[in-house]
Amino acid sequence: MRKRKPGSTTADKSVAEVRPEGEMTLGDSMRAGFQEVSEILETGSTGFSGIAGLDELLVNATGPGRLTLIAARPGEGKSAVATTSAVHVAAAGRHVQVFLTENRAELFGLAAAALPGHLRLTAQDWAATIERAKKLRSLDIRINDRHRTLEAIETVVRGRVDNQAPSAQCPTVFVDSVHGVTSRERLPTETRADELATITRRFSLLAVEKRLHVVLTAHLTSPDARARERTREAWPSLGDIHDCRALGMIADTVIMSRLERIDAEQLVERAAKPQPLEIVVVKNRGGLRGRTFAWLENGLLAPMSEDDRDELLLS
């Protein structure tokens, strides 16, 4: 029979272990992780955008507690991805809150209704827009273009979530764009990059605390990104996000989009036609990364046939 070490007693095993704040055992970690995946599978089964190629990549990326960043150069599809996704998520029965920091609520409504944005608007176009608007107006989407400080957005979101039924599906919050958000708590010594990093971390903590999916859009306008886009040999990297490279590092998922390069004289001719939008999931914690295409038309994404998509993927 093995002898008991001096000083040890059976009572020692019953004494509660004191752990530093935030520390957990491997077993606790796995249980929490499995619970998170279970919730993601339950609430994310309807997809993020309704675009098959993109939703296949994001199957585990749109559940509660996740922060998604959609980044692109101005006019290259980030708001289109966000608007399309907001409408799709709301149509699946989830509450959606949209904060516009660089646009007006009226323009979001026109984009959601797919109003043609060119000068060749016909009576038929207008009738189709009205018909689509009738189908969308009952969706649970709240649009706010007044609150542009982090603290005001947090207050609105907390109030909405706290008033929801416990059985409600994971709410989704869109902020278009994070570059238009400021903080009242910014210190005089902080740079704009520091402030944006703090804002993004606070959104990430809010997603975890309130079991939300938070989606931010961001600009890609750094000189390095512009230089590489001229050759189209490489995609912008996470470090090319305007003003703050840390945004891409904080987010759980990063989606980037870009349009095919066209000459200035082709702009008017192409304005009335769908354009192929290239979409790449460049970062996805615990999920897939990859590249796909969709049609960009009237400010929204439309699915592309497998044949068209495969042809572009091989080009």
pLDDT score of 143 more than 90: yes
| 20 falls within a domain | no
How far apart, in whole angstroms, are the C-alpha atoms of residue 130 and residue 4? 82
Q: How many domains does the chain have?
A: 1
Residue 11 scores a pLDDT above 70 = no
- Of 259, 255, 258, the C-alpha closest to 282 is 255
The mean pLDDT value for 13-18 works out to 51
Kindly report the backbone phi and psi dihedral angles of residue 119, in degrees, each rounded to the nearest multiple of 5, phi listed first: -85, 0
Which tokens hold the place of 114? 């797919």
Residue 22 lies in a domain: no
Domain presence at residue 38: no
Residue 29 lies in a domain: no
Beta pairing class for 96-100 and 172-176: parallel
Whats the size of the chain, residue-wise?
315
Query: What range does the domain containing 60 cover?
Result: 51-314
Asked whether residue 36 is assigned to any structural domain, the reply reads no
Residue 178's nearest CA partner among 193, 161, 165 is 193
Q: Does 11 map to a domain?
A: no
Please tell me the predicted confidence (pLDDT) of residue 31: 78
Kindly state whether residue 44 falls inside one of the protein's structural domains: no
Report pLDDT digits (tens) over 216-272: 999 987 555 555 555 455 566 676 777 777 888 899 999 999 886 554 444 445 555
Q: What CATH number corresponds to the domain at position 210? A: 3.40.50.300
What local confidence, expressed as pLDDT, does residue 14 receive? 47
In this predicted structure, what is the pLDDT of residue 201? 95
> Distance (Å, rounded) from C-alpha 281 to C-alpha 51?
13
Residue 72 lies in a domain: yes
Average pLDDT, the chain: 80
Q: Give the pTM.
A: 0.81
